[in-house]
Amino acid sequence: MGQQKSSNVVWHESIIKRTDREKLNGHKGAILWFTGLSGSGKSTLAHAVEEQLYGQGVHTYVLDGDNVRHGLCSDLGFTDEDRQENIRRIGEMAKLFADAGIIVLTAFISPFIKDRERARSVAHEGDFFEIYCDCSLEQCEERDVKGLYKKARAGEIPEFTGISSPYEAPVNPEVRVNTEALSVEESVIQVLDTLREKGVID
């Protein structure tokens, strides 16, 4: 999947460069890749970070796992192969957002290290921030916001990450947020501090 199928497709360079867009926006483009188990707080944190950035006049967009599967990836299931293709598509789309000078926040379980590294590899150097929402399986199950763990334990959801399908935690993420111990507000501060340190925002 993801292979170029035609030799007649040629990349067309834009007249307006990324640096022009970033100058217009007043900040750099970036990819904030939130990863973690279901219920670890990825979407909650991504939207909370976006709210703070928006309040500072930063151009943002959140790509949420469930939402994307209603459109761009509605043809994909949850086999390992489909999950890989799901993340490949998101990685390519996130790169376009960053090139447009936008800070794109992606909230996906993205359970496999190699798939997250592939998403990083297509991004420009320094664009990709892996943000690990570190929360124990026990806590995620206790929250069970969507009732998915209960269904997975009952065998109603096959290949469910953390139960019948593995989750490979990041080895060296740009940000590791202990969403089990920290409040949403504290977690947001941790992410924003990293973006300032790296010069993405002022």
Whether 13 contacts 99, CB under 8 Å: no
**Is it the case that residue 113 has pLDDT exceeding 90?**
yes
Task: Quote the strand ranges of the chain, DSSP E.
Answer: 30-35, 60-64, 103-107, 128-134, 175-178
Q: Quick check: 180 pLDDT over 70?
A: yes
Give the pLDDT band of residue 6 (cuts 50, 70, 90).
low
Least confident segment among 28-37, 45-54, 63-72, 113-122: 63-72
Tell me: pLDDT of 86 over 90: no
Residue 145 or 3, more confident: 145
- Confidence tier at 1 by pLDDT (50, 70, 90): very low
Answer yes or no: is pLDDT of 130 > 60. yes
pLDDT of 2 strictly over 60:
no
Beta carbons of 50 and 60 less than 8 angstroms apart? yes
In the sheet that holds 103-107, the strands lie side by side as: 60-64, 103-107, 30-35, 128-134, 175-178
Tell me, yes or no, if the pTM score tops 0.75. Answer: yes
Domain assignments of the chain as residue spans, ordered by start: 18-197
Give the pLDDT score at 65. Answer: 65
| Whether residue 110 lies in the annotated active site | yes
Active-site residue (options: 38, 40, 43, 110): 110
CATH number of 18-197: 3.40.50.300
Beta bridge partners of 106: 33, 63
Q: Are the C-beta atoms of 168 and 113 separated by less than 8 Å?
A: yes
Does residue 43 contact residue 65 with C-beta atoms inside 8 Å?
A: yes
Taking all residues of the chain, what is their mean pLDDT, rounded to a whole number? 90
pLDDT interval class at 106 (50, 70, 90): very high
